[in-house]
Amino acid sequence: MQVQCVDNDSDFLLLEKEWEELWSNSVMPSYFLRYDWVRCSWEELRATNELRVFIVRDGNRPILIAPWMRSRGTYRKLPLRSLTFIEHPETQVADMILARTGDAQQSVETLMRYLFEKRSSEWDLLFLDKFHSSSKTLHLFERVRESAAIRTEIRASHQALVISLGGSWDEYLNHQSVRFRKTLRNVTNRMGRVGKIEVRCYGENAGDEAVRKLFSVSDASWKIAEGVAITSSAVRMRFFKQLLETAATAEGLWIWLLEVNGRPVASETQIVDGQTIYAIRSDYDEHYADFSPGTYLQMEILKRLFEMRYAEYNFGVGLNPYKTRWTDQHVDLMSCRLFNDSFYGRILRSMERYDFSKLTGLSGLRTINGLFSGKA
């Protein structure tokens, strides 16, 4: 087995065909691992990170793709170079693309050996976040850790609230509190007095109209003032546009809109990933806040999803208060963290075990990273 490192955009653009072929025959063909999702994510992140896509090949055949990037930051006030997934904020599940057939453990071992032997001078920390708790790749990391005595830390890092779609809307509602059901009735009554109400779902043929309406709701939301709305960032707006322009990703992207008298007042953007529906963005027009349009749209979406073939609705990463009103069921996402075995990497790892807060102010300590990475 051989490892190839793709660290430039030109070579990355040539990977699409074999990437998608491996994805189609992988142990976890998640929407968030498709080539176009990763490519669009990288377009947003490339300005402040360096591309590091590692491919393990058996002969010429790719059997593992690690969609990673290299980032620079600090850790306990010391310089830190990290290898991470291409971490787009909208990504709900991350992993490596692993062939369904072949020696999976050997492919992971080959990659890890390559990182320590060939690329050890360019990273201090390998931090891979948002693995699903059932990830086969994560299980392989645990086995490699045990066999090679690698000091890898694997732990729960995030939670996402979920609703099982196995029953019906009425069955779901009957399991909720009297107060919750009364709240939904009150919201329905309030919205009924606003005007003509229409709920629309735009799929792969969404086009410019759906995007324009999505952005108009974002522009009118409270998130604008916080600087976290979709339309607060030109690169984030371009991210959503690009997804809808590409057939492979457009077919799994849904935009739900609640319109009052033809005006969009609430929206939810979803990813369809196999049997799971992920909510990645929810917004509402602040001018209609007293009528709870976001709650109304959420209710109408769930009613329709219970009638479809999907197994689970996922509210997305985070235990936000508005999500906890709908469910207390959750799934765990896991992280895998590994410090380099270099002298500087061992210093960073020891920072967690001992209190070196006073030492971080010493200018000489900051040069160690350069000394042991060959830069000084």
Q: Where are the domains of the chain?
A: 2-159+333-372, 166-310
Per-residue pLDDT reduced to its tens digit, 102-113: 788 899 989 988
Angle at 182 between CA 178 and CA 187, to 5 degrees: 150
Q: What is the pLDDT of residue 372?
A: 47
Rounded CA separation 95/34 (Å): 11
Domain boundaries 166-310, corresponding CATH code = 3.40.630.30
Rounded CA separation 186/245 (Å): 39
Q: Record the tokens describing residue 288, joined without a space.
A: 């209609």
Q: What is the pLDDT of residue 85?
A: 97
Q: What is the pLDDT of residue 343?
A: 84
Regions in the chain scoring below 50 on pLDDT: 372-374, 376
Same fold, 2-159+333-372 and 166-310: yes
Q: Record the tokens describing residue 35, joined without a space.
A: 């080539």
Rounded CA separation 175/316 (Å): 22
Phi, psi of 166 (to 5 degrees): -70, -25
- Residue 169: CB partners within 8 Å, gap ≥ 6? 302, 303, 306, 307
Start-to-end C-alpha separation, the chain? 34
CATH topology (fold) of 2-159+333-372: Aminopeptidase (3.40.630)
Q: Are strands 152-164 and 97-98 parallel, antiparallel or unpaired?
A: unpaired
By C-alpha distance, which of 350, 272, 345 is closest to 313?
272
Rounded CA separation 255/269 (Å): 5
CB 217 within 8 Å of CB 21: no
Q: Record the tokens describing residue 126, joined without a space.
A: 């390998």
Helix (H) or strand (E) holding 63: strand 61-75
Rounded CA separation 142/152 (Å): 8
